[in-house]
Amino acid sequence: MNDAKLYNIIRAPRVSEKTARLQEVSNQYVFEVATDATKADIKQAIEKLFAVKVEAVNVVNVKGKNKAFKFRMGRRPDSRKAYVTLAEGQSIDVMATA
C-alpha cells in the first residue's frame, strides 16, 4: 500500500478528554478514518505510519446530524471513527501528528 492511500485511510486523530483518558488507561487511540476503510486497512495504515504494533481495531460509524442554517435544513456528512488498541509498551504522540 502506498503512502498516499495510507493518508487517505487515516484522516486525523480525534483529541478530546475521553480520548486522552483512553490513552492513559487502556492504551487506545482514536482516529477519524475513511468511511470505506476496513479494520485490516486501518491496522496496516497505523502500523506503517507510526511504526507500532496494533493489537485490535474497533470501528464506529457516526451518522451526520441535520442542522439548520439561515432557514434551510442541511445535513452534516457521515463519518467513521477507529479505536486502535496498541501493544503493551507502544505509544503514539498524537499531538505531534495532529
Q: Answer whether residue 89 shows pLDDT above 70.
A: yes
Report residue 6's pLDDT band, with 50, 70 and 90 as the boundaries. Answer: confident
pLDDT digits (tens, 9 = 90+) for 23-71: 999 999 999 999 999 999 999 999 999 999 999 999 999 999 999 999 9
- The pLDDT, as a whole number, for residue 97 is 56
Mean pLDDT of the chain: 92
Give the H or E element holding residue 94: helix 94-97
Predicted TM-score (pTM) of the model is: 0.88
Q: In this structure, what C-alpha cell is assigned to residue 9?
A: 485511510
Domain regions of the chain by residue span: 3-89
CATH topology for 3-89? Answer: Alpha-Beta Plaits (3.30.70)
Three-class secondary structure of residue 68 per DSSP: strand
